[in-house]
Amino acid sequence: MLKFVVRRLFQLIPILLGLSVLLFVWLRALPGGPAQALLGERATAESVARIESLYGLNEPWYVQYWKFISAAVRLDFGNSARTNRPVTEEMMRTFPATLELAVAALIFAVGIGIPLGYYAAKKYGSWLDNLSVSGSLLGVAVPVFFLAYILKYVFSVQLGWFPTQGRQDPRIDADHPTGLYVLDGILTGNLEASWDAILHLVLPAIALGAIPLAIIVRITRASVLDVVHEDYVRTAEAKGLWERTITRRHVLRNALLPVVTVIGLQAGLLFSGAILTETVFAFDGVGRFIAEAISNRDYAVLQGFILVIAAMYVIVNLVVDVSYGLIDPRVRVR
Amino acid sequence: MTNSEPLLDVRDLSVTFTRKGGPTVRAVDGVSFTVRPGETVGLVGESGSGKSVTSLAVMGLLPRRGVQVGGQVLFDGDDLLTLPRDRMRDIRGRDIAMVFQDPMSSLNPVVPIGVQVTEVLERHQELKGEAARSAAAELLSRVGIPDPNRRLKEYPHQLSGGMRQRALIAMALACRPRLLIADEPTTALDVTIQAQIIELLKELVQDTGASLVMITHDLGIVAGLCDNVHVMYSGRVVESAGRRELFAQPRHPYTGGLLGSVPRLDAPRGAPLHPIPGSPTDVLRWDHGCAFAPRCQNRVDACLDGPPPLEAYAGRSLRCLNPLTESEEVSV
């Protein structure tokens, strides 16, 4: 098991190296550049050249790449061309925000999706089943930004139940040792700040979690429908076991195998940031930051952030593979 | 064979499947039989004859939607068909247990064998922890699984087919049930393993004094095991007899056909097999006549007038208007 994890972590090295080359070439193939973006359309050739030499952008790409990669192994990705602050500092600020949002969205999607999918399958053909099937279709079909605006309009603007934007009420004075605001509040004993952070998370988490929720409901429902007709469930019934034992031990453990895969894939996507949701709710996370970096051709930020996101994606998948082995002994890794 | 009160008394059992917009199918139609304590009863028939549905109806394991069950299933005087669901759960696994056809799919692949054995003990005998575990190990060694302590920790995919069927038998017998229903327990196994499993069942049933209902299409198994045999065709019993009477002289042409289709070692080399012509799907509805008539070589015109009754005939119950006679050589 440990060997498997270590081996998979070593596989990260070639993945990240390859990705960094691709990224490097791809970014420089984009029309325009950071100097152009910084100076605007009417910049003179001299001022562009001055900025480029300032950032070392006039050197051949392999020299630039070498400089980048030799710094990157020390987790130094340079400075953002836009904010002029170290990229790692920007990461420390935005990744916890996105992580918090992604976890909240996952809790929403998994916490509602699995029970709903299960009961829809149990009550196959009932109104609950039909509602969950059509509802999940709607969940996949509605564009995220549209759903986000609707949620914001109804629950923040009209009803005033939730704050409209940001991560924390500016009037609350809170310390942020980890950058995960809910956790910070608990750690520093400032529960009011925690609660406020949770309120700020609710609507973005629902908007972001809608698609994963819909997918999880559908997969769970289909999987449970398959499993309840399996012979081993009949065996369990023949033993006279209590219904809850049968559900937990014999139905759900098998039915959740495909669901775990889907949750893992969705988690990987969520951790890489949610541009639309973060923009609508002015949530200061990775997605919004990357979107801005793209329009500013902020090479340092893009290179650093995308590499870290790729590493996270690989690690999330590793976690999924390991947890898969925990629930299914047939694919257990040795 | 004992002559005491029956342990299981199935009376006029019928099972009808209905599908929205589809035809209704009567899978079991007025089946009656009894099982006395310690007795072994065979239910014999081809696929689709209703023998498995009969057993699932007795266990209360048929799906509730789209299924109508009629008649009575008296177990120890209680009608299992009308018992509340929780009472039925108490009986299943404790008083009546079942061994299924396919040991590959009848065990949960993601739960260790040990848990699957101990869960029955925990449910019905309130054994817990170490007590349940050692009882489970004892059960496994009782059914002939070597190194039971190691096997308890293993998962179904780590066991061979015969081993898994032994494990399933251990689970079924865990609470010393008074009635064991075995639904084609050897069909999915190799021939050599089949014989071992049948021997094991026979031995365990003798030791515990349990009654056994053996559901099979294999008359060889019936011959070595059962006291009484009920031959089913298209949802109805067509011939019920003691084992000796049945094998000495089958009276129903279907039984005769089943016996005749068994290949024999003492037949001359190259002699052709004698299958029953047609297929089990080739049936008449019982209300139009004898369901076996389309395939029957003894058919007379009256067979198509209406369903023949199940009547006492030559020391057995028989549903046939033109039975095989003594002189009529079974087509072997």
Complex prediction ipTM: 0.85
Which CATH number is A141's domain given? 1.10.3720.10
Cα of A215 to nearest chain B Cα, Å: 24
DSSP string, A295-331: HTT-HHHHHHHHHHHHHHHHHHHHHHHHHHHHH-GGG
Residue A79 lies in a domain: no
Say whether A235 and B171 touch across the interface (CB within 8 A).
yes
- The three-class DSSP label of residue A80 is coil
Number of domains in chain A: 1
DSSP string, A29-54: HSSS-HHHHHH-TT--HHHHHHHHHH
Cα of A38 to nearest chain B Cα, Å: 58
Q: Chain A: residue nearest B62 by CA?
A: A234
Nearest to A314 by CA among A281, A272, A253: A272
Nearest by CB to A231, which of B105, B120, B123?
Answer: B105
Question: Per residue in A209-230, pLDDT tens?
Answer: 888 899 999 999 999 998 988 8
Give the Cα separation of A67 and A70 in Å (integer). Answer: 5
Residue A229 lies in a domain: yes
Q: Chain B: residue nearest A227 by CA?
A: B108
Say whether A235 and B100 touch across the interface (CB within 8 A).
yes
Say whether B123 and A239 touch across the interface (CB within 8 A).
yes
Residue A82 lies in a domain: no
Q: Chain A: residue nearest B158 by CA?
A: A330
Residue A21 lies in a domain: no
Residue A23 lies in a domain: no
Say whether A241 and B107 touch across the interface (CB within 8 A).
no
Residue A128 lies in a domain: yes
Residues of B in contact with A327 (CB under 8 A): 110
CA distances from A269 to A12, A217, A330, B6 (A): 18, 18, 27, 64
Size of interface A-B (CB pairs under 8 A): 81
**pLDDT category of residue B3 using cuts at 50, 70 and 90:** low
pTM of the model: 0.78
Residue A36 lies in a domain: no
Residues of A in contact with B83 (CB under 8 A): none
Domain that holds residue A101: 87-331
Give a three-class secondary structure readout of chain B: CCCCCCCEEEEEEEEEECCCCCCCEEEEEEEEEEECCCCEEEEECCCCCCHHHHHHHHHCCCCCCCEEEEEEEEECCEECCCCCHHHHHHHECCCEEEECCCCCCCCCCCCCHHHHHHHHHHHHHCCCHHHHHHHHHHHHHHCCCCCHHHHHHCCHHHCCHHHHHHHHHHHHHCCCCCEEEEECCCCCCCHHHHHHHHHHHHHHHHHHCCEEEEEECCHHHHHHHCCEEEEEECCEEEEEEEHHHHHHCCCCHHHHHHHHCCCCCCCCCCCCCCCCCCCCCCCCCHHHCCCCHHHCCCCCHHHHCCCCCCEEECCEEECCCCCCCCCCCCCC
Question: Per residue in A284-306, pLDDT tens?
Answer: 888 888 888 888 777 788 888 88
Kindly report the number of other CB atoms within 10 A of residue B245's CB atom. 17
Mean pLDDT for chain A overall: 82
Q: Chain A: residue nearest B55 by CA?
A: A238
Question: Per residue in B112-141, pLDDT tens?
Answer: 898 999 998 888 888 888 888 888 888 888
Residue A41 lies in a domain: no
Lowest mean pLDDT among A297-306, B78-87, B90-99: A297-306
Say whether B89 and A242 touch across the interface (CB within 8 A).
yes
Residues of A in contact with B108 (CB under 8 A): 232, 235-236, 249-250, 253-254
Say whether B92 and A238 touch across the interface (CB within 8 A).
yes
pLDDT at A273: 65
Mean pLDDT split into 10-residue runs, chain A, 334 residues: 78 84 81 72 78 76 82 81 82 86 91 90 83 83 81 82 77 74 75 80 86 90 90 90 88 88 85 77 82 81 84 82 78 61
Cα of A314 to nearest chain B Cα, Å: 26
